[in-house]
Structure 1
Amino acid sequence: MSQTRQTSGLTTSTSHYTSSRTTNSPSIKALQLEYSKLQKEPVEGFTVSLDDDSNLYKWHVGIFGPPETLYEGGYFKADMEFPTTYPFAPPKVRFLTKMWHPNIYENGEVCISILHPPTEDPQSGEHPSERWNPTQNVRTILMSIISLLNEPNCSSPANVDASIMYRKFHEHKDNEYETIIRRQVNESKLVAEQEGISIPKTLDDYVAPSRAGAAGNKNDKKSYSNSLSHEDDDDLGIDDDDEQMADMGGDDDDASYNDSD
């Protein structure tokens, strides 16, 4: 049954997703494993939750702006919708928070290689290895998006105006891009305050205790800092549990984004 949900002016449809109450598909098994792991072992940089515990195909995500970037101190809300063919097809990620970014469409949808189906598309300029594959997971997706926030890919922008503005900012010719981002970060802080969300303010706070260790592991922090570079995207968080999820495929069983700033 088709469902439509209006959130801060953004309408999202779940008509092509199946309720997890009525299926025991490989995709549900994979999502159950991922969600359980993220609840037991929180990961740096983001939080995940469900609006409806009976529907694992739609997750709510809160992404924290990484320290020492324009997005530091920000709290950015997004929806992540999974197809019934997951993990063999990627989810869709759409920001509910207003985002001015070269790789985010005006409706909030994220445009990044890791979320593109593994098909041959010479026109895209993307190498097949950059696209989705079943070893990817929620963590690798969100860490890639966090990395993308501070290091946009302007070669094929989803928002051309934001891309032009970012290039001028990057070349120290104009600060309008920085002004817009900082304004959006401040607006997101108000939302976090209203929702009682504690935003990490330092790298120590940003790195989850489960990954840094109770006393704080400097090597883990250094590793995280390095992960903000796109050069390391292929190595983000693929572990034995992720391979287990990929193996499951063999089982039988709009906030307004028309920025007038």
Structure 2
Amino acid sequence: NGDLCISILHPPVDDPHSGELPCERWNPTQNVRTILLSVISLLNEPNTSSPANVDASVMYRRWKESNGADDEYAKIVRKQVEATREDAERDGVSVPLTLEEYCVKTVPRPSDDPCDALDLDDYYDYGDDDSDDEEEYEETGEDSGQGEN
């Protein structure tokens, strides 16, 4: 049905029956990135030995072990994907259908803040090219702090 069961979304209580440690559960350091990484991980490698939905786990294992010959699982997934696409379309959300569409590069919008336009890397010497360092020291007599004295 599309519901997810992810440890980091569970309250951080000590529940000996869950098989989860309190440190694997929700804490304030979780953010959108860590939650999405958990979802991606779950989608890539579902834990069929501790499923939230036993029927789905059995269907998934049958599909995987049959190399796709048992297609009950695949039919349900296709149906859910189509329903999600239709929901997105009704909501005016553009869903990428190809890898190229998914990986479209965005162009940053210009900002009204002049500080956003500064490239601070222009003001920092990374020391990639040491050839000018000695000349600069000799000309100015200043020490750059990079140990050339």
With normalisation by structure 2, the TM-score equals 0.58
Q: What is residue 7 of structure 2 aligned with on the other side?
A: 113
CA deviation after TM superposition for structure 1 residue 183, in Å: 1.4
- The yes-or-no answer on 1:176 pairing with 2:104 is no
- The yes-or-no answer on 1:192 pairing with 2:88 is yes
Task: Give runs of aligned pairs for residues 64-213 of structure 1, distance below 5 A.
Answer: 98-99=1-2, 104=3, 110-172=4-66, 174-207=70-103, 209=105
CA deviation after TM superposition for structure 1 residue 144, in Å: 1.8
RMSD: 2.5
In 1, Cα distance between the equivalents of 2:31 and 2:104?
18
The structure-2 alpha-carbon separation of the partners of 1:207 and 1:133, relative to structure 1 and needing over 3 Å to count, comes to farther
Percent identity over paired residues: 60
Describe the SS at the equivalent of 1:122. coil
Greater relative contact order (Cα < 8 A, sep 6+):
1
Task: Give runs of aligned pairs for residues 32-71 of structure 1, distance below 5 A.
Answer: none
Report the more deviating stretch, 138-147 or 167-176.
138-147
The structure-2 alpha-carbon separation of the partners of 1:153 and 1:208, relative to structure 1 and needing over 3 Å to count, comes to farther
Report the number of matched residues: 106
Question: Any stretches of 5+ residues in structure 2 without a counterpart?
Answer: 109-149
The structure carrying a bigger strand percent of its residues is: 1
In 2, Cα distance between the equivalents of 1:174 and 1:134?
42
* Larger Rg belongs to: 2
